[in-house]
Amino acid sequence: MAHTPYPESYYAASANAVPPRPALQDDIETDVCVIGAGYTGLSSALFLLEHGFRVTVLEAAKVGFGASGRNGGQIVNSYSRDIDVIERSVGPKQAQLLGQMAFEGGRIIRERVAKYNIQCDLKDGGVFAAITAKQMGHLEAQKRLWERFGHTQLELMDQRRIREVVACDQYIGGMLDMSGGHIHPLNLALGEAAAVESLGGTIHEQSPAVRIERGANPVVHTPQGKVRAKFIIVAGNAYLGNLVPELAAKSMPCGTQVITTEPLGEELARALLPQDYCVEDCNYLLDYYRLSGDKRLIFGGGVVYGARDPANIEAIIRPKMLKAFPQLKDVKIDYAWTGNFLLTLSRLPQVGRLGDNIYYSQGCSGHGVTYTHLAGKVLAEALRGQAERFDAFADLPHYPFPGGQMLRTPFAALGAWYYGLRDRFGF
Ligand SMILES: Cc1cc2nc3c(=O)[nH]c(=O)nc-3n(C[C@H](O)[C@H](O)[C@H](O)COP(=O)(O)OP(=O)(O)OC[C@H]3O[C@@H](n4cnc5c(N)ncnc54)[C@H](O)[C@@H]3O)c2cc1C
């Protein structure tokens, strides 16, 4: 049988040791079969186990193999679309619910880390950095908006204040969210997987779901086994392929790339990011970076629509890093990798149910570390018969990409090119 290892990355190289998990080779029965062991799947599994469900997780490769084990590690709250845009689309009542939930994912991560003693280099503090006056105005408006929804912890930063927390001369100001922060993403996923098993859940790696037999008693088939379940949760996100054709039609996998420097040493690391906050800029095609536990700079940026793997990642991302930090010109890059997230046309997550018993959440379009943790809770609530928060997400409108699966990539790239120009010229 094929064995899919982790792609080479700083995270794979510094992952906490875990025993391998055997592939499914039997015909088993459970309450909930979760497809995918990223944050969405693991968070769902944990909430369900905590409420007495029996849970089996099927993972095509290894725990955290997808975006959850490769991302920038930034705990960024809220959604990839502003809450006032959401409000105009779904009305004040649903927007109120979604707005209240927007900072919950970060809390869930911290609760998980504390409750299950997960070693993942958790640090508090995330900065949104404005490059243009227009972006700064947008941050000011966002802060006012979030206060309307009861989130009062955000701090606006002028040019002098942001220079105290990040040694980059590009920024004219920013916003600090102390409920944001950063983590070693793969170690968070591995810790959550261990927590799932500590509660009696089962995880099978190297066990792709290859077919779902739908109906009153659904069955998930893997190459060597099957799982009969009362409910299925589909959590394969950008790696799901065509297993559930309805989900593939309204979303598009996109690649984004990350590089990691050699260790910088305490002094240089502290000079760049004295408080060890993570940073993302406010461009549409944004750069994001932070320090690792061993004081490397982890820097991500760029989007490849359609998720083709670029040939030379360092050649794409290093110039962006040097633009932010010219002082790193002699620093070596030790790791470079790519990973896929799932884009939707609205940039809002797709949440819903197929038939009576197949639930899904996917497509948070970039900012997913916190959302996926919230999604697990909301899906678990729905399975327990409390669907109010699930419905708030499920009611978000979604449209297919213009041009269908064949033309969605060039259309999205064209849109990104336009927004990239807007970023560059500030209009
Ligand atoms: C490079 C990169 C950087 C990012 N940086 C950030 C960041 O800093 N902050 C942030 O908030 N968000 C970031 N994101 C987004 C964030 O990582 C994702 O939104 C989030 O991890 C998605 O989690 P998930 O569980 O839904 O999907 P994934 O983590 O992709 O997990 C899906 C899992 O399902 C498995 N799977 C798929 N199909 C099957 C099947 N048929 N059978 C069994 N298993 C299957 C896959 O192998 C995979 O392990 C980034 C994404 C990428 C790619």
Residue spans of alpha helices (H) in 325-368: none
pLDDT in tens, 233-261: 999 999 999 999 999 888 899 999 999 99
Among 344, 37, 354, residue whose Cα is nearest residue 194: 37
| pTM exceeds 0.85 for this model | yes
Cα 302 to averaged position of ligand 1 atoms, centre (Å): 17
- Binding site membership of 10 for ligand 1 (Cβ less than 6 Å): no
Residue 416 burial (10 A CB sphere; 0-12, 13-18, 19+): middle
- Structure-block tokens of residue 76: 């960024």
Give SS3 for 4. coil
Q: 83-90 and 92-101 helices cross at what angle (nearest 10)?
A: 150
User: What does the pLDDT look like over 85-96, one tens digit per residue?
Assistant: 999 989 999 999
Half-sphere exposure for 296 (CA within 13 Å, toward CB): 23
With contact defined as beta carbons under 8 Å apart, do 373 and 41 qualify?
A: no
State if residue 67 touches ligand 1 by the CB under 6 angstroms criterion. yes
What number does the ligand 1 atom closest to the CA of 42 have?
Answer: 25
Out of 9, 33, 68, mutate this one to test ligand 1's pocket (max ligand atoms within 8 Å of CB): namely: 68
Report the nearest atom of ligand 1 relative to the CA of 342.
Answer: 19
Tens of pLDDT, residue by residue, the chain (427 residues): 568 999 999 999 999 999 889 999 999 999 999 999 999 999 999 999 999 999 999 999 999 999 999 999 999 999 989 999 999 989 999 999 999 999 999 999 999 999 999 999 999 999 999 999 999 999 999 999 999 999 999 999 999 999 999 999 999 999 999 999 999 999 999 999 999 999 999 999 999 999 999 999 999 999 999 999 999 999 999 999 999 999 988 889 999 999 999 999 999 999 999 999 999 999 988 999 999 999 999 999 978 776 677 889 999 999 999 999 999 999 999 999 999 999 998 999 999 999 999 999 999 888 899 999 999 999 999 999 999 999 999 999 887 776 666 555 555 555 555 555 555 555 4
Is the minimum distance from the CB of 35 to ligand 1 under 6 angstroms? yes
Q: Using DSSP, state whether 7 is helix, strand or coil.
A: coil
According to DSSP, the β-strands at 154-157 and 202-204 are unpaired
Domains along the chain with CATH numbers: 1-122+183-249+345-396 (3.50.50.60), 123-181+252-343 (3.30.9.10)
